[in-house]
Structure 1
Amino acid sequence: MAKDAKPATEGVDAPPAKNNKKLFIIIAILVLVLGIGGVAAFLMLRHSPEQGDDDGEVAVEKVKPVKKKKVDRNAPPVYIALDAFTVNLVPERGDQFLQLVLSVEVDDPQTGDQLKAYMPKLRNDLTLLLSSKKASDLISTEGKEKLAKEIMEKMNGVLDPAGKGKNRDGPIRDVLFTSFIIQ
């Protein structure tokens, strides 16, 4: 009789095959999701070639030109004030100086950001332009208007070099003098 009786625990030892399949699928999905998340994090956090490392190299930010879009002529104007320029003028009767503070009207606020990015180049070009003038040329209203036009052309040439055509307006709409002193 003892041989005919089977222990009751024999059938319990073998786990069902369905539980192993479910566990394997859950682990595979978890590994897949974590792998995709890791790749996405790596791509977002990696250093781009333009950025310098911490070994003393300087990071260079490339400024993309502002794309032309439709300008709403009814929108309020956007003005950017520039720091004062003080230059020696071409000597006529001894040393003469020009102190000039100006503001520029731009298409949109994004152009203002681009203007700030190019400020060292703009200040250099405008300083060279201003220092090449004579006081007698700048005294008259016509001389000041001509200077404003030259400044606008110079700035548009730096900010939008491809748009130098005569039929196309640049990002700078107008140049306004807020202070103009010749000594």
Structure 2
Amino acid sequence: MAKAAATADDAGTEAPKKSNKMLIIIIALLLVVIIGGAAAFFMMGGNHDAEDADAHDDEVVAEEDHDAAAKEARKAKLKKKKEADAKGLPPVFVELDPFTVNLQQETAMDQYLQVKASVRVDEQHAADQLKAYMPEIRHRVLLLLSSKKASELNTPQGREDLAENMVDTINAIVGEIPKNRKGEPEKPIGPVEAVLFTSFIVQ
């Protein structure tokens, strides 16, 4: 009888031990699955982050290349001007045919602008290029002039601004228009250095 009781007690102690082992195994398996899933998730996320970083780096490099190209173009233009000045070469001018346009109406009376201007370029080749593009240049300049009001042109600063606008308008035709990092157009780069008014009448 004593032996039988002892066997029953041993069976009672072994049963919780087995269930404890099973519980530990299940928990360990769950931990392995969770850790493995988390590792896979982070690895995939890391790859996406790396790809995004690479794409961003490519964009930055492209922007820097574009900015560098624009800077090089400006430097080359300045260098060419300095060389021409050092050699004592005379400036090259292209005289534009007179412009007569109606200005934007501000009063009951119609107002118009009559302008004669010359364009200074960096070399003779550019002067020939301007002549080849003259129909388009005259068209764009006429549109620019006719968009102005008399009140904008009655001051020295207003006329200087108009001359600068004409420089940009012509350079946009015969030169290039660089873009900034946002893809927005910047000041055109071209052979035209200045527009000089030889006659300017607002009536």
> TM bucket by the smaller chain?
0.5 to 0.7
Q: Partner of 1:160 in structure 2? A: 175
Q: Please state if 1:77 is matched with 2:98.
A: no
Aligned mates of 2:160, 2:188 — CA distance in 1: 20
CA offset at residue 168 of structure 1? 7.5
Q: Partner of 1:86 in structure 2? A: 100
Q: Deviations over 1:42-100 (max 9, x none)?
A: xxxxxxxxxxxxxxxxxxxxxxxxxx786223122111111000000001112001000
Aligned mates of 1:147, 1:96 — CA distance in 2: 17
Q: Partner of 1:100 in structure 2? A: 115
SS for the counterpart of 1:73 is: helix
Q: Partner of 1:64 in structure 2? A: none
User: Could you state the TM-score of these two structures normalised by the residue count of structure 1?
Assistant: 0.59
Whichever of the two has the greater Rg, that structure is 2
Q: Please state if 1:170 is matched with 2:159.
A: no
Q: Is the 8 A contact 1:107 1:172 kept in 2?
A: yes
For structure 2, the 5+ residue unaligned runs are 1-75, 180-184
Aligned mates of 2:123, 2:104 — CA distance in 1: 36
Q: Please state if 1:119 is matched with 2:131.
A: no
Whichever residue aligns with residue 73 of structure 1, its letter is A
Whichever residue aligns with residue 97 of structure 2, its letter is D
Shift >6 Å, 4+ stretches: none
Aligned mates of 1:178, 1:146 — CA distance in 2: 16
For structure 1, the 5+ residue unaligned runs are 1-67
Q: Structure 1 residues 128, 153: CA separation in 2 closer, same or farther (over 3 Å shift)? A: same
Q: Structure 1 residues 132, 115: CA separation in 2 closer, same or farther (over 3 Å shift)? A: same
Q: Is the 8 A contact 1:157 1:163 kept in 2?
A: no
Aligned mates of 2:133, 2:90 — CA distance in 1: 24
Q: Please state if 1:109 is matched with 2:124.
A: yes
Q: Is the 8 A contact 2:117 2:196 kept in 1?
A: yes
Report how many aligned residue pairs link the two structures: 116
Q: Percent identity?
A: 48
Q: Partner of 1:128 in structure 2? A: 143
